[in-house]
Structure 1
Amino acid sequence: MRTRNKVLSILSVTAMSAIMATAISMPAKATDADIYLLNDLLKPIYTKAQTANFANQKIIGLHSENYGYELNKKIYRFDDLTEVFNASNNNLVTTLAALPTAKTPISEITGQPSTSTLIVESVNVISATAVKVKFNKVMSSDDKTGLTYTFNGVAVPTSKVTYSGITATLTGLKLVSSTNGTTPAYEVLVKSGTTLLSKQNIVWNNVVTQNSLINMVVAIPDVSVSQNGVPVLPSIIDVIYKDGTAGKESVTWASVSTSTAGIKKVTGKIDGSTVTAYISVNVTSVEYVKDITLEYYSILSIYTVNAQADSSVARMSLNGIDMYYNGNYSFKLSTLLTKGSTVTFNAYDAANKLLGSKKYVVLQ
């Protein structure tokens, strides 16, 4: 089973590279070829441009069962895409034409709404002057352009609408706290173009509003990432409100450096709340330059140097001279060296970013 999984992983990485290399050069919808985590279809984890990075391709290929591929506003399992791609003789045009009939989008399989469908999940008062509208996804620029809001029959100016994550906050309103829980009621309409997305009558009770504020964030599992990698952080987190009920909120994480190994504590800002979310990112060290072997040819007075590299390494140099890629993450160079001297190996990723260096003493 382990051998089979390794073969499948290699096939997925190969397919990922071939698919993205072709997709990047093809004219398509703006979001075609975006990559999603199957357990979070609200926004892509890698955009089409980001999948041009070979390191990202390898992550997706090696863990393909966790990812989905966007085509025509629908998300398909990446493993299904790979299967159709292989059956189509590695022709992406044929693959994309066949995919909608050969496989079912993941959104339809799980019953989750398509990311192209905008749905209003809730409308809540957050203060005497503001209302929060929560949607089912992070809105695109086109979504925001088409959205309009009406409060008690009066259009809310766009200057009074602020978007963050999956919410829109309407400000500049006037609400009176209810003493009986039913009046006064305020009608809120949300439209996308001419389509009515939501019509709700809301009542503001200051005590209820205070109880609906976030009390705490449910513990978020730690995330691990290799050194210089990109951690996958959740965009939606679980929270407990002051009245004891549970819910979900969108979160925006601060940037985190993965250039050094160790556990990094990252803070997250929850939309419309002063409560801070925290997540630990465990950055594991990587030995980018591994086994080094030298062969000395006395007739020519040169060394042939072989170096094995980590799978994230796309280029390696020896004392500033590029080594030749020998396949299977191995690099080779024949050059003049002095016995007893110290040489430097530099390892780079596909974007030509320096990943790490290693000193080596020529002993033989």
Structure 2
Amino acid sequence: MSFPIVRNRRLRGSQAIRNLVRETSVSVNDLIYPLFVTHGSNVKEEIPSMPGVYHYSIDRLEEELAEVVALGIQAILLFGVPETKDAKGSSAYDPNGIVQQATRKIKQLHPNLLVVADTCLCQFTDHGHCGVVHVDEHRNCADIVNDESLELLVKTAVSQAEAGADIIAPSNMMDGFVHAIRQGLDEAGLENVPIMSYSVKYASSFYGPFRDAAHSAPQFGDRKTYQMDPANVREAIREAEADVVEGADMLMVKPALAYMDVIRVIKENFDLPLVAYNVSAEYSMVKAAAQNGWINEQSIVMETMIGFKRAGADLIITYFAKDVARWLKG
């Protein structure tokens, strides 16, 4: 009688042995926590489609930041929700804009907490697009004007860095945005400020809750002309390669959960640190299922985090960051 060979069965026994031979791990050092800041006073408003995620006014930031720091999270991704909007998103690059004010406050309260500034115009424009819109009445259509948009994005990045942002994270997907921002930062004497590029950003349906949170839904059309087709992988390599050549310091794949194959491809082709953005709908779907008692939230989330790291992510932007940090503490 012959028996099949079972390899490493003895190494799959106790949890202690499993821990010793584990190939992939998640650390609190891997996590970046998104934070939404708005105008007003004494504001802490839960975002209906994102349970446990809030809008904070600047005077309420400290309670959230204290928890983030106590959990060992070292970086936040800062989003601003402005009071007023206009066609060119002028509050995005206003030295006293909401992101700039919040950044100065955060660095005052916690100088060692890294502030990653999302650099885009969509939540600051009245039309909700990531650049300047030109309306062609003869053709009855509207176009995003790339080069004029770049000028405003550079102004935004420089103003964010001057306010104290440690990392600039441009999410706009305009052509040549990394080169333009790198040049603008360097000319402003900010050559040591790194760029975390949203290199591979798909035109995804997984952004819905975020657009509620940031009040950034397009008022007409969609963003498919400047965000990527979810069906494409080779295009992702071209987009990432362009950002590397233009001077990006970190690359990103967004969304993450449905694009782990893309994370793997980018990891295998480039040696820059790679960020996976675990986006809003990926968060909200798990929260909704957990609230209904359909899943074990902790197990699902931690398995997902391991999946991101196994696929090749070095860093993970996630609304679960505080939860993950608590679970890692045990």
Q: TM-score range by the shorter chain?
A: under 0.3
Q: Which has the higher strand share?
A: 1
TM-score by length of 2: 0.23
Report 1 or 2 for greater relative contact order, CA contacts < 8 Å, sequence distance ≥ 6: 2
TM-score by length of 1: 0.21
**Higher gyration radius (CA):** 1
